[in-house]
Amino acid sequence: MKKYVPLLVLVACSNGPDQPADGGTDAGGPIVELRADTNRNGTIDWEYGAFGTAMFDLANLSANGAFGATEDAALLDAYFEGRVTDDLRRSFHAMKAGSALREALWAMVSDVHLKTPGIDYAAHAREYLRRFEQLLSS
């Protein structure tokens, strides 16, 4: 059986919502990578911080930013320093679909349990279900 999801290094990452339901510009937690084999540093948003693959944060940024193919290619090329394989693209696409679905489900639960004035959680859920379905069909 061919393995389609490459093993990705676990890093400290945001794992949290990156865009508020009202469509505002507050981006939430940072994209973070702290690795012992590099000299790069960053900050950790401990509210949502956890260890996971950086691919989740990249895909979450793309899904919540409504990135298209051009922006996705630029994001992956920049992050992976031009070494983007087909396996990485497939992993990214799967994570992006998962991120859109997670956001839709979060909005559905929020619509039932949160009553924040001025925020239309049902519309937010519909938008992210549309994005999820679009990702599944591409």
Q: Where are the domains of the chain?
A: 10-137
pLDDT tens, residue by residue, 14-58? 555 544 444 433 444 444 444 555 565 555 555 666 677 778 889
Q: Hey, which CATH number is domain 10-137, 3.40.50.720, 3.40.50.10300, 3.90.1200.10, 3.20.20.80?
A: 3.90.1200.10
The Cα–Cα gap between 95 and 58 comes to: 9
Closest CA to 68 of 133, 131, 137: 131
- Count of positions (residues) in the chain: 138
- DSSP assigned state of 81: T
* Percent of residues, the chain, with pLDDT higher than 70: 63
Closest CA to 9 of 44, 39, 33: 33
**Which residues neighbour 56 within 8 Å (Cβ) at sequence distance 6 or greater?**
13, 15, 95, 99
pLDDT category at 115 given cuts 50, 70, 90 is confident
